[in-house]
Amino acid sequence: MTSETFGARVHHALATRGQFCVGIDPHAGLLAQWGLPDDVSGLERFAMTVVEAVAPSASVVKPQSAFYERFGSRGVAVLERVIAESRAAGALVLLDVKRGDIGSTTQAYADAYLDPASPLAADAITASPYLGFGSLDPMVDTARRHGAGVFVLALTSNKEGPEVQHARADDGGTVAGGVLRRLGELNAGAEPLGSFGAVVGATIGETDESFAINGPLLAPGFGAQGGTPADLRRIFGSAAGAVLASSSREVLRLGPEPQAMTDAVRRGNDELAEALA
């Protein structure tokens, strides 16, 4: 994909384009709100309008694969366009797939999403470590080989998350803390930033975990879901400069007018810059 690491690319994007990440999530309710049919034609019009509006100014866009997959192969073809045209406009693409498996299956997922030979290749993907962190090794190795990145679920804000993520391991630390520690090890010595990030909800509340992983931090739930710039400063502390604050509805509800969505990205970046500087 590139000789430059994802960590270096995302560090530059945060510095030049800001910390606001836009989720391109064409769920049925938004298609209806835009007056579009819940079919492939509506999906394509929605997704490409959003790309046109936000990809030239957002540092990262984050399409959620499931909303495209539900339309079958034609929906996946739209996702391929979203990835290609967003990257052509200068945005990094973080494909939200949350894949996690073992062995050759994990390698196949890595080849699908991180190998530049694939039409679905993105700059980075999300992944689940809950079959054991080592099960992600094929993704890590493939990302390193192609200059891509992996964001690993650590502390999500869904109500079911704590039963796994807050559980205590044999060493007395939490499962989430172990994920963060392993990410820090993967990123050790990387400059200016490692390529392996954590997914940490912007609405998780109080935590004693350390987010000094020398890598990017994806914080979904910013904006319409209740996460604020003050929350990000409180949660991430000195690591706040590496945060990608992700929002979808906050921007997408303003469509189908492209300029309104473009302006929302600029406002989001301005608010984050003021709060996290």
Indicate if 98 belongs to the active site: yes
DSSP one-letter string for 97-159: EEE---HHHHHHHHHHHH-TTSTT--SEEEE--TT-GGGGHHHHHHHHHHT-EEEEEEE--ST
For the CA atoms of the chain, what is the radius of gyration? 18
How many C-alpha atoms does 150 have within 13 Å on its Cβ side?
35
**CA 274-7-161 angle, 5° bins:** 75
C-alpha to C-alpha distance for 100 and 204, rounded to whole angstroms: 22
How many C-alpha atoms does 76 have within 13 Å on its Cβ side?
10
Q: What is the largest CA-CA distance in the chain?
A: 53
- Which residue, 263, 262, 255, 258, is CA-closest to 35? 255
- Which residue, 146, 183, 178, is CA-closest to 165? 178
107 touches 135 (CB < 8 A): no
**CA 244-24-36 angle, 5° bins:** 155
Q: Which of 87, 98, 144, 181 is catalytic?
A: 98
Q: Which residues carry out catalysis?
A: 98
